[in-house]
Structure 1
Amino acid sequence: MKKSTIATLSMVCSLLMATGMTVYSEPAYAVLKIKRTAQGQLGAMQVNPYGYAPLSAVIDLNSKSPTDVTVTVRGKGKNGVPVSYSVGQQTMLTHNGIPVFGLYGDYANKVDLEYKLDGKKINETYTIVTQPVVGVTLDGATHAFPQVTPVKVENDFKERLYWVNHLPHNSNNDLITRVGGGAFEWDRWSVNFITDTQGEVRWYLDHNKIHDIYDARKRGVLMGVHQVDNGDIIFGQGQRYYRMDLMGRMIMERDLPAGFIDFSHDMQEMPNGNYLIRAAKKNYVRPDGKVVHTIRDHIVEVDPYGQVVDYWDLNTILDPMRDDMLKAMDARAVCINVDDDAGPIDVEPDAPFGDVPGVGIGRNWAHVNSVDYDASDDSIIISPRHQTTAVKIGRDKKVKWILGPSAGWKGELATKLLTPVDAKGKKLDCSPQGLCEDTDFDFGYAQHTSFWVPEKDTLTIFDNGDGRHLEQPAMPTMKYSRAVEYRINEDDMTVEQIWEYGKERGYEFYSPITSVTEYQADKDSMMVYFASANLMEHSITKPKLVELEYGTQDVKVELHIESTVKRQPSYRTTVIRPTAAFSK
């Protein structure tokens, strides 16, 4: 190295050391490091360490080995909800630090840290300042981010956290088109956040890192959010599926398998670590020789490495020409477009191919919006919204049972219909359209989330209620949505309704699209999200979230959510458990 270069480096190093930087030098080069001031006995704190979750932080270990770590983010104000959790060794090693989750936006958060270091118990308080929460700016918005208002919160549910999967529209969703149909043009911004029971945002996903209307691999609708057993979050969007942790560390960001396209609505992790993904098929050859991209009618199983294990082609398993449910639905409640033109859907077998409600392969005849797995017999349970309430299908691709009205089912499929019974096992008198006399029993119509509950050996659904009994009511305000639980006896092919909630809440809670019903084992409760309440009105959409004591009408939590503009639905909510994410 030249003497002049060495002299220059020496001068630079002297200046840097004077400004607080530490310099490590070797004979041939110099490495510069910024010396950071730590608030406690560990290392410095970094907000949003992975770039996806602005309300997260990591406190560096600074080459130390703390044990028995507990983090508590203090609640804001008199009624603020603290977020507290233990942190395990594996989690600290993964992040090389202590994860801080549950911060408020635009706030000087107080975070209490308890741990042992060299056998000594230490208590420290950190101040972590965050940036404001960033939403999506839309024409006609009344506020920048969905607003959450608590209506009722019981003490034993006060520390509940809910992930809200919200769907602001994208005015440029037709910016890119796909020749040959498919659902590629279905595109919305990703507003996903975690709310506490006081309506405060405690985490949110930076939508600009996930969604880009100009990038084909980042278009779509972020959906199918689940917190899996180890605390990670899985979801999909358009042509990709993802796995990340609550710190925003992206674990998996993978394209759909070759030949499959257009993820939406749901994915599930199986007990063996594989994933069930609701997708569609590219360049599908119909029996008549026409080649199309299909719509929401395939389930793909992939292993943790992205290899295809199996798939279910519903075009060959069910009847893509059955139109009884489609013809009964309001044109505004098909999850395609919500406009002012009410009335039934015009279903024609020769309609154009693409993401339109209609019969035949290459159209939106099935609209599967959830997939679940029954490990007891290696089967899947799907919710084909445009067909029936729920269908169970085996690994052999044979239908095990169909839950729904009998109208329109033919041949072998008609023999798979479950028979409604009362609590004593007596057969109910039900019409082909599903109207059952002198009973509270009812099927689901235009439903979402047909989820199996292994702890109870039951099935839950969210019954949206459009096209109930395969017709439209005399007045739109007669419609209602409900959460429902069924007990199915596969030996005698019967079904009993054992619980429902929402019918009595009437049109105020009516949600024509989206929504979820999901059992919560940790509190033996049922979480229900009326995700598109007020969607049909000329005012702000007002989703409703409730959690009830299992098997009762006893509401433990009720939160009302206000969208940012008119006719802006949510998709789902899911309960988030920090302990599952950080205690390992």
Structure 2
Amino acid sequence: MAVQFKKFDHIITEQFRAEQEFLAEYRKGNYTFANPYVKLNPYLIAPLTALVMFKTAEPTTVSVTVKGKEKAGDIGFSFPEATEHLIPVYGLYPGYENQVELVLGNGEGNLLTIQTEEAPDLVKRPTKITTTAEYFQDNLMFLSPTSPAMTAGYDYRGDVRWYGTLNFVFDIKRARNGRLLIGTHRLLMPPYHTTGIYEMGMIGKIYKEYRVPGGYHHDQFEMEDGNLLILTQDPSRGTVEDMCVLVDRKTGEILKAWDYQKVLPQDVGGSGSQDAHDWFHNNAVWYDKKTHTLTLSGRHQDAIINIDYDTGELNWVIGDPEGWPQELVDKYFFKPVGDGDFDWQYEQHACVVLPDGDIMAFDNGHWRAKVKEKYLPAKDNFSRGVRYRIDTEKMEIEQVWQYGKERGEEFFSTYICNVEYYDEGHYLVHSGGIGTFDGETCNKPPVQYRGEDEKKVVLRSVTVELKDDEVVYEMELPANYYRAEKLKLYCAEDVLTLGKGELLGTLGVTEEFTTIPPTEPGGMVPDKYNVKIGLEEDRLIFKATFDKGQMVLLQLEGDTSHSYFVPTTKRPFLAMCVGTFQESDERAVEFPVSRENLSGEFKISLIVDEYKYDTGVTVNL
């Protein structure tokens, strides 16, 4: 079997080609309000969306309503006056003959029928949902998966009204321009660090990819001027998830960086999941304009920290001080006060700074102690949303609210999850990483179980909204989901713009390996390595199968030569926050090489242990 080689277009290129095709088809006809052009899933990755196009002689408004399975399920929107109408349709049901009503400004109507395909099994259905149509209205609860599932949005009945077919990762946020910010589906390095984030319309069109050299993970935050805070790392130094960068919204250029190694010691205050490679594990970033600071969540130090935006200097730490040097405790840590209950947070996620300066987070509670002798087993543990009130003058902290402790182990998530603040007394608490193994509550991320053990795992996700401590919404799904975000499908700012999206920023230059060992000729690469080579617009992707510990070098040989070390020994990741990139075969490796600074024709060869093999593949970069 020869080495498999294939060229791949970027999704932005694929979508532009699809757009050109449906526009050409539209322009061939004379499409009117009575006989409009309808394109289902116009941008290829959002099957429950459609685009309706037609012309009118005079400018007119258009209203669209996707009819619900009952009246309360109607989803609609009104568009401003125009003569050339591009009407996005959102909220279609899967596997259903959808009725879509269009109404012009003069009252003239047209009822369309749009048939959709059934959603795949990876679009999970709720096992429980409790709310009312009056409360939830036309909102959807969007969830992004960490176990095999698809990002999807659910209405008040639990019906799926939107899903995406790409392996989107981490949080979904709506930007001020109405579009969604979400992690790309392009893996940069295991287990889940991707090339950057997409800016995408609800119709599925990707307008921009913001690439970051060190990759993206966990979270992003839109600044007032539109620039983006993106969590990243510098893999070349052997650690991950310990940096944040500010990215220019227009160019993708990195404007500023914060390095937590300059802020905190890496060998103290560790949680039960810490190792030297992933010593901090930053899973959230929040900019607070009032104090001009960044608040960050470090899962592997059980610490929520606050740093100065300009200088990067440490201001304070929320967390159990046990195990930290006394000089740091005295200067940066808070002392609990108040007459109510108080618990520190452990391996927390999703820190949020509230309008009054209070700090909210999801307290996973994993281990719920700083020393091994005090670790709490999952069956006796709890996870919760928590709100702390801090006094940075007196360095005092008070717990003013929590939800979840009373639910005990059935609400316990060792990893992921989030909270949202909507208004005073109105919160979301999402426990997305619940699991049992052989009937016992998991005390490690359930997605870490592989092989036969995986069959013994039962996954759950519970999303709760509370108003004045009353549960007004609760949904349970049979999978693990990183975060939950309540969003409306339609947004006035999210206007469909035609034309090709932009690939911004850079993947950087892939680090080269300069010490080339002596080898013997091996001929063509053996079939047993299952080598596959893919050429993307901005990188080369090498995939193969090797035994653990084999020495592998990928070589590009042309007018200049370049060698890259391909790791075959995988780290024991203690925090598998997204498991959707995991291969079923533990020997599988994937290694990308950025095309940055590579130009010319290159023959691709492979060194495995003492032999050098020819792949038979030549690429022009």
Q: Same fold (TM over 0.5)?
A: yes
Q: Is 1:313 the counterpart of 2:291 in the alignment?
A: no
Residue equivalent to 2:358: 458
| Counterparts in 2 of 1:245 and 1:484: CA distance versus 1, 3 Å | same
Q: Offset at 1:67?
A: 4.1
> How far apart, CA to CA, are the structure 1 residues paired with 2:260 and 2:127?
41
Q: Contact 2:31 / 2:55 at 8 angstroms: preserved in 1? A: no
Instruction: Classify 1:33/1:75 alpha carbon distance in 2 versus 1 (closer, same or farther; 3 Å).
Output: closer
The corresponding residue for 2:63 is 70
Q: For residues 82 and 33 of structure 1, what CA distance do their matches in structure 2 show?
A: 28
Match of 2:196 in 1: 240
Q: Give the aligned partner of residue 388 of structure 1.
A: 302
Task: In structure 2, give the amino acid aligned to 1:469.
Answer: A
* Displacement of 1:71: 2.2
Q: Does 1:518 align with 2:435?
A: no
| Aligned-pair CA distance for 1:87 | 3.1
SS of structure 2 residue aligned to 1:161:
strand
What do the CA deviations read for 1:382-406 (whole angstroms, capped 9, x no partner)? 0000113311111211111110111
**Matches of 1:468 and 1:524 in 2, distance apart?**
26
CA gap 1:107/1:32 in 2 versus in 1, 3 angstroms: closer
User: C-alpha distance in 2, partners of 1:486/1:65?
Assistant: 57
Take 1:504 and 1:317, find their aligned partners in 2: how far apart are those partners? 36
The amino acid of 2:163's aligned partner reads Y
Aligned position for 2:338: 422
CA distance in 2, matches of 1:447, 1:474: 16
CA distance in 1, matches of 2:80, 2:406: 45
| C-alpha distance in 2 between matches for 1:526 and 1:540 | 27
- What amino acid maps onto 1:44 in structure 2? Y
Residues 1:492 and 1:56: Cα distance change in structure 2 (over 3 Å):
same
Residue equivalent to 1:468: 368
Q: Residue 377 of structure 1: CA displacement?
A: 2.4
Aligned to 2:390: 488
Matched position secondary structure for 1:450: strand
The answer to whether structure 1 residue 228 and structure 2 residue 175 are counterparts is yes
Residues 45-86 of structure 1 deviation map (CA, whole Å, 9 limit, x = unaligned): 11111222111111113265654433221112x586222233
For the residue of structure 2 that corresponds to 1:251, the secondary structure is strand
Aligned to 1:261: 214
Q: What is the CA–CA distance in structure 2 between the aligned matches of 1:562 and 1:39, rounded to whole Å?
A: 44
User: Contact 2:33–2:54 (CA<8 Å) still a contact in 1?
Assistant: no
Q: State whether residues 461 and 485 of structure 1, in contact with CA within 8 Å, keep that contact through their aligned partners in structure 2.
A: yes
Structure 1 contact 87–583 (Cα < 8 Å) conserved: no
Cα distance in 2 for partners of 1:240, 1:316 equals: 24
Equivalent positions of 1:291-440 (< 5 A) are 292-304=237-249, 305-322=251-268, 324-326=269-271, 329=272, 334=273, 357-359=274-276, 363-395=277-309, 396-410=311-325, 413-414=328-329, 415-422=331-338, 439-440=340-341
- Counterpart AA for 1:545: T
Find the residue that maps to 2:415 and give its secondary structure.
coil
Matched, 1:540 2:458: yes
Secondary structure at the aligned position of 2:233 is classed as strand
Conserved 8 A contact 2:129-2:158: no
Q: How does 1:172-183 map to 2 (within 5 A)?
A: none
Displacement of 1:146 in angstroms is 1.5
Partner-residue secondary structure (3-state), 2:413: coil
Q: Paired residue for 1:275, among 228, 244, 256?
A: 228
- Give the SS at the match of 2:285: strand
Amino acid at match of 1:542: R
Alignment partners' CA distance in 1, 2:177 and 2:328? 38
CA contact (8 A) 1:371 1:382 kept: yes
Q: Letter of the 1:132 partner, please give it.
A: E
Q: Does 1:43 align with 2:22?
A: no
What TM-score does the superposition give when structure 1 sets the normalisation length?
0.70
Compute the RMSD of aligned alpha carbons. Answer: 2.6
Aligned residues of 2:248 and 2:254 also touching (Cα < 8 A): yes
Instruction: Give unpaired runs (5+ residues) of structure 2.
Output: 1-23, 185-193, 441-455, 496-621
> Letter of the aligned partner of 1:577 in structure 2?
K
Higher RCO (CA-CA < 8 Å; seq separation 6+): 2
The gaps in structure 1 that reach 5 residues or longer are 1-30, 136-143, 170-189, 212-220, 284-291, 335-356, 424-438, 564-568
| 1:39 Cα deviation from its structure 2 partner | 8.0
Q: Report the TM-score when normalising by structure 2.
A: 0.66
Post-superposition offset of 1:582? 5.6
Counting aligned pairs with the same residue, the percent is: 28
Task: Classify 1:475/1:408 alpha carbon distance in 2 versus 1 (closer, same or farther; 3 Å).
Answer: closer
> In structure 2, what is the equivalent of residue 141 of structure 1?
none
Equivalent residue runs for 1:8-19 within 5 Å: none
Aligned AA (2:205) = R
More strand by share: 2
Aligned residues: 440
2:332 is paired with a residue whose SS is coil
Distance across 2 between alignment mates of 1:32 and 1:104: 26
Q: For residues 505 and 66 of structure 1, what CA distance do their matches in structure 2 show?
A: 57
